[in-house]
Chain A
């Protein structure tokens, strides 16, 4: 077997140490994100922190457990491209609701002015469609 096929050869070196390190990192980061959540950071900051930690964890899983670290380009490009489109759908859709005239959002949404929400919550609910 040629040298660069080491991954398929019978005397391949094991990556157990690397996996255990990654596992340790994932457990720690899980504890961190769990712990941070008790601080109840305001709105956007809380989501941003949680997503950042989750992305680091996800990156560790993708790079090391899923071996993107030692594999050629196309596979990485596939994952990255899919994440770009996840961000696209989530952000552009959110942008819509975030930039609408407040009354164009669902009536008891918390983005509407408080007095209007109170009025809606206090009056009889319209009959649900089901």
Chain B
């Protein structure tokens, strides 16, 4: 049975092991949150110093794309949560399907971001010394786009990692590696994906809705 094989020798019970894996995942998520923090702090400082420029730069973004992406990610979180729910009921093929659906939405997200990035490249809205757009006075424009690419870029990296994790766990779930008694990897994969969504929930208003 999957659950017996899953218990490591140094844990006294599967319940303890699951508790440990959850705590471990939350600690890892905490470190991921702190990874973004320096960028948010830089954003806070420079938005304060260049409030007008940031607002103007933000108005130049395609807000509807950011909004659609938010709807997409939130819905992908729903499908992941439903996937875990299915796993708890032992319906692991359903879990896989839902996870693949979430990956699909992740791809939509990345697609929209790619379109946006292309737009910025074409208009010279690039970070640091590559900023040539010029319609914003002072350094605010170049700083906005430096932070824009750093924050959304780091987030995109996490989206890709999240999709990979969902993919691996999805495939294993399809092949019957999990059951109602043991599906902790499904839960952990879900936690990572929800974090990706959680971060975007804050990124969207801070970048697009100034």
Contacting pair A110 B53 (CB below 8 A): yes
Interface size, B (range):
35 or more
A interface, CB within 8 angstroms of B: 5, 7-10, 12, 14-16, 19-20, 22-23, 26-27, 30, 33-34, 37, 43, 46-47, 50-51, 53-54, 57-58, 61-62, 64-67, 71-72, 74-75, 78-79, 81-83, 85-86, 89-90, 93-94, 97-98, 105-106, 108-111, 117, 121, 128, 130
Q: Which listed residue (A8, A16, A89, A121) contacts B37, Cβ 8 A?
A: A89
- Residues of A near B82 (CB, < 8 A) are 16, 19
The 6 closest A-B pairs by CB, nearest first: A37-B209, A50-B205, A109-B49, A82-B30, A108-B138, A23-B78
Contacting pair A23 B27 (CB below 8 A): no
- Digitize B191-210: 1 where CB-to-A-CB distance is under 8 Å, 0 elsewhere: 10011011001101110111
The answer to the question of B26 belonging to the interface, with a C-beta cut-off of 8 Å to chain A, is: yes
- Residues of B near A78 (CB, < 8 A) are 23, 26-27, 29-30
Instruction: Apart from A27-B74, A78-B27, A90-B41, list 19 A-B contacts with CB within 8 A.
Output: A5-B15, A9-B180, A10-B181, A23-B74, A30-B71, A33-B209, A50-B206, A54-B205, A61-B194, A61-B197, A65-B77, A66-B190, A74-B26, A82-B33, A94-B45, A98-B48, A109-B50, A110-B53, A110-B140
Report the nearest A residue to B37, measured CB to CB: A86
Classify the secondary structure of A's interface with B. helix
Q: Which listed residue (B37, B44, B129) contacts A94, Cβ 8 A?
A: B44
CA distance A130 to B67 in the complex (A): 36
Contacting pair B23 A62 (CB below 8 A): no
Contacting pair B48 A61 (CB below 8 A): no
22 contacts between A and B (CB under 8 A): A10-B89, A10-B180, A19-B85, A22-B78, A33-B204, A34-B209, A46-B210, A50-B209, A51-B202, A61-B194, A79-B26, A82-B29, A83-B33, A86-B34, A89-B37, A90-B40, A94-B45, A94-B48, A109-B49, A110-B49, A110-B53, A130-B128
